[in-house]
Amino acid sequence: MTFTLLPAVDVVNGRAVRLDQGEAGTERDYGDPLEAARRWRDEGAQWLHFVDLDAAFGRGSNHELMAEITRTIGIDVELTGGIRDTASLERALGTGARRVNIGTAALREPEWTADMIRRHGDAIAVDIAVREEDGQWRTKGDGWTSDGGDVWEVLEFFDAAGCARFVVTDVSRDGTLTGPNVDLLRGISAATDAFVTASGGIAQLDDVSQLSQYEGEGIDSAIIGTALYEGRFTLREALRAVERSEKNL
């Protein structure tokens, strides 16, 4: 099995939460982030997606918790949230994280981000949150509140810079349990040589199975959050669904 599932641990004030469409103030509390991380690991996760939402919104940091989970969990960790400059990036990489995602800074400081990609290779992913506005897909930064430009132009720039992976979120789907935007994900995957991680909207096992069918197109992984926390299915069930889907390819 090569299609990867990354259970999400989004953290606010040291608590695991989920947001509705990424909006601050819509947090639903799901308890201790370390307990959640251990649960996903024990159910078979090979990767964990950790989001420091306080850092992303510019109102604090959960770095010590992030470092503890990364150090002790025993599986690969992808970190994101508040990576704004070389110092914060090096601090995140210093936790032992396998990968760090750059979001807002990639939109504001594309040349710096391209330099970090050249330095660190596939340890850097570009995190692209998008929202459709007036028929156009626009990138979003600053906790998904500011406009970062046309998504296709952003993709073209970072594809040329050698970005190995884009983490793509349709903001309108995130935390809503309305299903992933498969058409958008496939369109983005077709426009880049990089791998694509799907994020946002997964609600049922069929969504997981469907996404895994496009691994050959470059969509090789998916982040799952709310569906797991709400008990729509377990991570074990999702991993089995991927395995069955891949056997049928």
- Residues involved in catalysis: 10
Q: Give the pairing type, strands 28-29 and 146-150.
A: unpaired
What dihedral angle (degrees, nearest 10) is formed by the CA atoms of 213, 218, 219, 221? Answer: 100
| Amino acid letter for position 25 | G
The SS3 call for residue 98 is coil
Q: What kind and span of H or E run contains 126? A: strand 124-133
**Tokens found for residue 146:** 């500011």
The SS3 call for residue 94 is coil
| Amino acid letter for position 62 | N
As a whole number of angstroms, the distance between CA 55 and CA 219 comes to 28
Please report the beta strands in 13-86, taking only residues with DSSP state E, as ranges in sequence order: 15-18, 28-29, 47-52, 76-80
